Copies of this chain bind each other. A is one copy, B any other.
């Protein structure tokens, strides 16, 4: 079995340097084309442009008033007016009109007194060329307008058209061929319905969109199966049409990964693996004609790192264009970020502005999870020679969304509830939309997040057996010094989520000890886990008696998915999650789910919006339709039991 093992991995910088040194003679590979000026926005001129016409092309009045001979006006002053006669001494003129032959100045209409239809009086002299835009004031015919290499801005279109340049010669767009590969990948353009073992290919479209952002022209062909000869044929044909070729690996690596062999058939593999995670299995090569070939990893996040950190700088360099750094802001890390020495790591994060500073909440690192890139609003890069960052450290963070969106975003950390999705939706539908970033770390994690000012609010449903109260005893213990408010979101039903039709006939928590029942648990610190342990203790059931007690998930939905897919037979969770996936549900208890908020932030506009939404009739109706929610207290401030 032949395997591609990445023995000679290099850093991203080394990889780029290596390619640059080999392609040095192949820079500025773009031909040129003549296109209409009005279609040339953001294109790059391939030759200098000189003005055809002057602007203005004539001496033009810059004010409404009268055209005069400046000589005639000398000596005019307050109390000693000069009288001017129509046609001989003055001609009425409007802004933009050509100055009549022989006249050399304009007097503003405000400074002219009409004595009669044909006679005016002025009390101020006009200096020569006063209020006149002279020929060529803006543009002189034949002068250099833009040098070659200039990128055309919206304003530049005005300059070019004003100078009578109706066509421009520009560098052609850099064409990038994209070949998705893999027997198991399905062409999204065919709207496929994936069977087991199949995945819908989408990396090619992500790349095509990024390329458009970088002013390139993507040329994508449909996926090619794992057939070496066919792959060579297809890539060779496409290579002739384009400046750069990207071969996208299928999601399966290993023995079927032909990318390296195909690159060897087309030319030479220069970089085989980079010291970056995600992104490690990236390949760079050069075809026999001297064209860059990129082997992109199959996992979507790895592919994006390969596109943005390897391909993008090389594209700008090949075009001879300056490349801006990604925009960054400083954020305070809400969790430690350990990192492997010798590997550059890219960590997706959510960013929010809490208590006047930006905080970042790390997302899961899995390279296969494209949704994490969609959820992320920031990206942290950890250098190869760093072992990572501690909680609370200030870290430079690339922003992935518009800055205003990040600035206005709300962060909710804590227990998960499906109503947070509903809230998210309502917040985005506001006249001035508010982005809600939610991280699910359990109720206790939420309380700590409020204590550390890592979140605007926290979802919590912690039951205290001693007082039979929710949340307050825990708040008293974890953030006794802080002035907080507890607002109810809903009373919700917790119970056992079981497969449709309840095939194993699970009825109570006592069934969990049965030999044929596999349970799926929630993580430590989750309110649901605490609830489970409370009841197990009451029933004198030991965790070790339950199969799957050690298997943890972080959200109700994830628990439900385990049941849906047969990974587990049941789990404790909320009714809405069961209903969302059309599973059965055995209600066990009603519990209070509250939002914890710092009192000092209650009047912030975004928090006010949240309170308005959850108190609204619409929200109540939508929530109740999800199943298992009672919103009679929603939006109300809770008080501890005596």
* Cβ B557 vs Cβ A140 within 8 A: yes
* Distance (whole angstroms) from the CB of A630 to the closest CB of chain B: 22
- Taking the complex as formed, is A525 at the interface, i.e. its CB lies under 8 A from any CB of chain B? no
Complex CA gap A55/B298 in Å reads 14
- Taking the complex as formed, is A370 at the interface, i.e. its CB lies under 8 A from any CB of chain B? yes
Residues of the B chain whose Cβ atoms lie less than 8 Å from the Cβ of A159: 370-371, 373-374
* Cβ B191 vs Cβ A374 within 8 A: no
- Taking the complex as formed, is A321 at the interface, i.e. its CB lies under 8 A from any CB of chain B? yes
Residues of the B chain whose Cβ atoms lie less than 8 Å from the Cβ of A298: 95-96
Q: Binary interface profile of A, 113-155, with partner B (CB < 8 Å = 1, else 0)?
A: 0000000000000001100011111111111111111100111
Residues of the B chain whose Cβ atoms lie less than 8 Å from the Cβ of A370: 55, 138, 155, 158-159, 162
A51 nearest in chain B by CB position: B371
* Cβ A324 vs Cβ B424 within 8 A: no
* Cβ B188 vs Cβ A128 within 8 A: no
- Of the stretches A56-64, A74-82, A448-456, the one at the interface is A56-64
- Taking the complex as formed, is A230 at the interface, i.e. its CB lies under 8 A from any CB of chain B? no
Complex CA gap A38/B209 in Å reads 9
* Distance (whole angstroms) from the CB of A282 to the closest CB of chain B: 16
Residues of the B chain whose Cβ atoms lie less than 8 Å from the Cβ of A128: 551
- Taking the complex as formed, is A605 at the interface, i.e. its CB lies under 8 A from any CB of chain B? no
- Taking the complex as formed, is A320 at the interface, i.e. its CB lies under 8 A from any CB of chain B? yes
* Cβ A133 vs Cβ B368 within 8 A: yes
* Cβ A324 vs Cβ B200 within 8 A: no
Residues of the B chain whose Cβ atoms lie less than 8 Å from the Cβ of A408: 322
- Taking the complex as formed, is A581 at the interface, i.e. its CB lies under 8 A from any CB of chain B? yes
Contact A580:B142 (CB < 8 A) given known A161-B188, A255-B64, A256-B94: yes
Oligomer copy total: 2
- Taking the complex as formed, is A156 at the interface, i.e. its CB lies under 8 A from any CB of chain B? yes
One of B158, B213, B325 near A206 (C-beta < 8 A): B158
* Distance (whole angstroms) from the CB of A377 to the closest CB of chain B: 10
- Taking the complex as formed, is A31 at the interface, i.e. its CB lies under 8 A from any CB of chain B? no
- Taking the complex as formed, is A329 at the interface, i.e. its CB lies under 8 A from any CB of chain B? no
Residues of the B chain whose Cβ atoms lie less than 8 Å from the Cβ of A138: 366, 368-371
- Taking the complex as formed, is A476 at the interface, i.e. its CB lies under 8 A from any CB of chain B? no
- Of the stretches A9-17, A259-267, A396-404, A483-491, the one at the interface is A396-404
* Distance (whole angstroms) from the CB of A163 to the closest CB of chain B: 8
* Cβ A94 vs Cβ B403 within 8 A: no
One of B27, B184, B254 near A431 (C-beta < 8 A): B27
- Taking the complex as formed, is A494 at the interface, i.e. its CB lies under 8 A from any CB of chain B? no
* Cβ B155 vs Cβ A254 within 8 A: no
* Cβ A154 vs Cβ B565 within 8 A: no
* Cβ B206 vs Cβ A154 within 8 A: yes
* Distance (whole angstroms) from the CB of A632 to the closest CB of chain B: 25
A560 nearest in chain B by CB position: B140
Contact A64:B254 (CB < 8 A) given known A59-B565, A408-B322: yes
* Distance (whole angstroms) from the CB of A557 to the closest CB of chain B: 6
- Of the stretches A245-253, A466-474, A499-507, A592-600, the one at the interface is A245-253
- Taking the complex as formed, is A544 at the interface, i.e. its CB lies under 8 A from any CB of chain B? no
Residues of the B chain whose Cβ atoms lie less than 8 Å from the Cβ of A256: 94
* Distance (whole angstroms) from the CB of A35 to the closest CB of chain B: 14
Residues of the B chain whose Cβ atoms lie less than 8 Å from the Cβ of A425: 48, 144, 147-148
One of B206, B366, B421, B565 near A136 (C-beta < 8 A): B565
Residues of the B chain whose Cβ atoms lie less than 8 Å from the Cβ of A374: 145-146, 153, 155-156, 158-159
* Distance (whole angstroms) from the CB of A396 to the closest CB of chain B: 16
* Distance (whole angstroms) from the CB of A210 to the closest CB of chain B: 5
- Taking the complex as formed, is A203 at the interface, i.e. its CB lies under 8 A from any CB of chain B? yes
Residues of the B chain whose Cβ atoms lie less than 8 Å from the Cβ of A405: 322
Complex CA gap A191/B52 in Å reads 12
- Taking the complex as formed, is A386 at the interface, i.e. its CB lies under 8 A from any CB of chain B? no
* Distance (whole angstroms) from the CB of A576 to the closest CB of chain B: 11
* Distance (whole angstroms) from the CB of A410 to the closest CB of chain B: 13
Q: Which of A188-222 contact B (CB under 8 A)?
A: 188-189, 191, 193-203, 205-206, 208-210, 212-213
A-B CB contact pairs (8 Å), 16 listed:
A3-B109, A41-B209, A57-B198, A58-B197, A59-B565, A94-B252, A96-B251, A97-B184, A133-B368, A143-B421, A148-B425, A153-B401, A157-B202, A161-B188, A321-B433, A322-B432
Known: A144-B424, A323-B404. 19 other contacts (CB 8 A): A3-B64, A38-B189, A57-B199, A94-B256, A95-B251, A96-B184, A98-B197, A129-B551, A129-B567, A135-B564, A139-B371, A148-B428, A149-B428, A157-B209, A158-B373, A159-B370, A162-B300, A164-B200, A166-B191
